[in-house]
Amino acid sequence: MPSILTIPEIIEVSKVSVGLSFNYTSTKAYFGGTVIKPIPPVQVAIIASALEWGYEGGQAAQPLRNEGNYLWWMLSKFGLQAQSAVIGGGGGSVVPTPSNNTLPNQLDWKVSDTASGIAPLADQEGAVTLDGTGGMPDLRGFNINFARGGVWQNTTPLGDGSTYYYWNKVTGLFQLLGGLPAQGAAQLGELMRISPDLLSTGTTTNNINEPVTIFLDADGTYTLPNGYFIWKIRIKPTSADTVKIGTTLGGDDVMFDKLLTANVYGSNGTTVDVDADGADQLIYFTGFTTSAEIDLYILPL
């Protein structure tokens, strides 16, 4: 028998559901086809915000449960999809790993002006989806080791300005990260290597929504790869700064000026719906006077 979601789980699932519902209705409106009539995403977001406000404010358990059950009903099929993405309760995302203990070929290349299945990143590119589409290899279900210039890279920064990378073995998103000016992007003539690691035989189940974590020393940017959308941003600054987020330099279309509490995540950040459909989208963070750690929760469109 399936377990009943907790109130915090319903809140988080509903935030993802808003983006899924919005993308569904937008796609159907553009391309046509049979359309179900979901509860408007804006209405879902309002109820989810009210539920979160009540939960954080200490509202009584029974009214919270009633509101949570109502919100869950509003989510319809998008709630199940979001549940699978966020907590795996809907069965999770299962990526098969070869049962004969074989590994995909190692990718070893010199960065040029063009990308290919054996050289997946070209000059100035910072992300690629390695899921078997677009001529790229399918490395989903595997861990990977990544080296550039003969130096093995980390998935978290060392704090010395060096580059690092993000790998989601469910979606296949591989992204280079780092500081200015290149922000980790591949450079012409650079030597790169991706070496897959076999996880296990059988299948591997993982949370699709592991955040991309970036670290800023001051104002900075993040490049959202084409084909993905951000549904939540969490921020942990080292000082109490008033920060805004936008899709243009100094813009606030993602988050208006907001005073953030130092050294905690808490309620810092925002629920958003920013997508990169057709091209990468640059996200600007403005207002930091010192360093900050930022989690970006992204999903494929």
Lowest-confidence region among 47-56, 80-89, 179-188, 225-234: 80-89
What percent of the chain has a predicted confidence (pLDDT) above 70? 80
Name the average pLDDT for the chain: 80
Answer whether 0.75 is exceeded by the pTM: no
Lowest-confidence region among 6-15, 109-118, 176-185, 200-209: 200-209
**According to the model, what pLDDT value does residue 201 have?**
35
Is 3 exposed, middle or buried (CB count within 10 Å of its CB: 0-12, 13-18, 19+)? exposed
3-state secondary structure of 129: strand
